Amino acid sequence: MAGPRMTVVAALQLATGVPIDRVLAFEDELRGADLVVLPEAVLGGYPGRTPFPEYFHAAVTVPGPETTELAALAARTGATLVVGVIERDGSTLYSTVVFLDPALGLVAKHRKLVPTARERLFWGRGDGSTLPAVPTAAGLAGAAICWENHMPLLRAAMYAKGVEIWCAPTADDRDVWQASMRHIADEGRCFVVSACPYEADGDDPFRGGSVIVGPLGDVLAGPLHDAEGVITAEIDLEEIVEARKSLDVSGHYARPDVFALTVDERPRDGVTFLK
């Protein structure tokens, strides 16, 4: 019989659009975690707060200098970092999550599939080519950004990839977000780590709400409100095995004879050159 598979996961709660030095300042607090999730747009910032040219030039390239610094932070702390950034690619911006491995550096990224409300004025739409499931010391990790967590078919696709650590960088600080995170953990029988921004000042502040949830929907740490900081939880991946005994939505609880989902993971470039 398999024994416990213990790892430590964490969420780092701080403002959006901070200089990378603010992230690096938490190095000591991140040491000892196997995986750390940071909020949506922690580098680059949430849109609509500054003139667009300023916002555009504050975005990061992937890969680029910022991901190099984050990779070095991952190496120093021994933690896989899952970081929300505003990615600049040509003349288009994306809300993106980057995965930084302690040994391998930048290993994957996920671009948000559907920007929400005013975000659509600033961000492009990702495609199915960036839906990774990333092996980490904490378990197999995937990411859904903010209201992507409300997309049932995206959830079904990620559950089918066998995700054990569901990373949810967000800018949603509403109380109902806690219910969504608990539901996803219970539905997917996975651990959920959600990181939300905290900002005390300005006309559009965020109050936080970072939380870690177990595979039966039980809150393990947080929610953290009205402060910067790090929340952590020691988790046992064997709890997923036990939890999925009664509910495996991609396996014995599925009905492929009734329902089918096709996921197109081909890149969708705006222009294709045929030679």
Write the DSSP symbol of residue 102. T
Q: Active site residue: 40, 87, 119, 239, which one?
A: 40
Q: Active site residue: 87, 112, 190, 196, which one?
A: 112
Give backbone dihedrals phi and psi of 152, rounded to 5 degrees, phi first.
-60, -35
| CA dihedral sign of residues 146, 151, 157, 163 | positive
The residue count for the chain = 275
Write the DSSP symbol of residue 198. B
For the record, the structure tokens of 155 come out as: 């959830």
4, burial (CB in 10 Å: exposed 0-12, middle 13-18, buried 19+): exposed
- Cα separation, 42 vs 87, in Å, equals 11
- Cα separation, 150 vs 168, in Å, equals 11
Active site residue 40: yes
- Cα separation, 104 vs 195, in Å, equals 23
Q: Active site residue: 87, 109, 119, 146, which one?
A: 146
Phi-psi bin for 41: left (phi > 0), alpha (psi -120 to 50), beta? Answer: left
Active site residue 190: no
Indicate the SS3 state at residue 134.
Answer: strand
| C-alpha to C-alpha distances, 253 to 6, 101, 172, 213, 263, nearest whole angstrom | 27, 33, 30, 22, 19
- The one-letter amino acid code at 203 reads D
In 3D space, the residue among 126, 122, 121 whose CA is nearest the CA of residue 110 turns out to be: 126
CA neighbours closer than 13 Å in the CB half-sphere of residue 229: 14
Active site residue 196: no
Enzyme catalytic residues:
40, 112, 146
